[in-house]
């Protein structure tokens, strides 16, 4: 479930590659611990006999089902969710069996904001909202680790991209000077 580096363009490089904050894995870990505890308790507390063995197998099957559904699946989803910030775009990719990817070019980012509830501030995560030009408008990224740092990095990326792809005042003066010199050097075309 790694992020495919071959989807990057030639001069593009990854600046940040994130998964959702680890807090989304707390419930899967608790479910796993409870499932193991239930099987161990059943093994230790059930009396010997055929009925107890059947009950222990039933507990083990239920525990395994819960671990697969409520622990392993969220882990796989977490691992296959990518928030990638490059020097050219923001790539949002998720999906286990089918995949969905959204690219937001940095030149389309109009605004970005972050939001943290008190518990998120304690854990160091939050929500990043990216507003872009286009038909989809806002994109909300929940559970971003280090959301303040990520928002600052996004700002830096957008500004650097703008600076690379736009002319500064000095460059514009040079171009205008060259155009004036070219026009001054031209002679009127014969009629």
pLDDT at 177 over 90: no
Look at 187 and 97; give whichever has higher pLDDT. Answer: 97
Instruction: Quickly state the pLDDT bin for 151 (edges 50, 70, 90).
Output: very high
Instruction: Quickly state the pLDDT bin for 133 (edges 50, 70, 90).
Output: confident
In angstroms, the CA 147 to CA 114 distance is 7
pLDDT at 136 over 90: no
Instruction: Provide the pLDDT for residue 164.
Output: 81
Instruction: Provide the pLDDT for residue 148.
Output: 94
Q: pLDDT by residue (tens digit) across 26-52?
A: 999 999 999 999 999 999 998 888 888
Q: Residue 143: which of 169, 116, 167 has the closest Cα? A: 116
- Mind spelling out the 3-state secondary structure of the chain? CCCCHHHCCCCCCEEEEECCCHHHHHHHHHHHHHHHHHHHHHHHHCCCCHHHHHHHHHHHHHHHHHHHHHHHHHHHHHHCCEEEEECCEEEEEECCCCCEEEEEEHHHEEEEEEECCHHHHHHCEEEEEEEECCCCCEEEEEEEECHHHHHHHHHHHHHHHHHHCCCCHHHHHHHHHHHHHHHHHCCCCCC
Q: pLDDT by residue (tens digit) across 65-102?
A: 999 999 999 999 999 999 999 999 999 999 999 989 99
Give the whole-number percent of the chain exceeding pLDDT 90: 66
**What does pTM read for this prediction?**
0.77
- Cα separation of the two ends of the chain: 70
For all residues of the chain together, what is the average pLDDT?
88
Say if residues 157 and 112 touch (Cβ distance below 8 Å).
no
- Cα–Cα separations (whole angstroms), residue 190 to 180, 185, 186, 187: 21, 15, 12, 9
Instruction: Provide the pLDDT for residue 168.
Output: 64
């Amino acid at each position: 479930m790694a992020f495919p580096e071959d989807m990057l363009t030639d001069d593009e490089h990854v600046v940040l590659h994130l998964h959702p904050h680890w807090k989304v894995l707390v419930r899967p870990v608790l479910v796993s611990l409870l499932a193991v505890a239930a099987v161990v308790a059943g093994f230790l507390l059930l009396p010997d006999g055929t009925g107890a063995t059947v009950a222990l197998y039933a507990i083990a099957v239920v525990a395994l089902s819960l671990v697969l559904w409520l622990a392993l699946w969220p882990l796989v989803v977490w691992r296959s969710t990518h928030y990638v910030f490059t020097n050219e775009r923001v790539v949002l990719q998720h999906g286990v069996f089918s995949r969905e990817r959204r690219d937001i070019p940095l030149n389309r980012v109009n605004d970005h904001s972050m939001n943290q509830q008190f518990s998120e501030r304690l854990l160091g995560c939050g929500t990043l909202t990216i507003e872009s030009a286009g038909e989809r408008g806002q994109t909300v990224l929940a559970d971003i680790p280090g959301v303040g740092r990520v928002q600052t990095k996004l700002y830096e990326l957008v500004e650097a991209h703008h600076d690379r792809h736009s002319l500064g005042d000095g460059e514009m003066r040079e171009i205008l000077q060259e155009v004036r010199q070219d026009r001054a050097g031209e002679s009127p075309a014969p009629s």
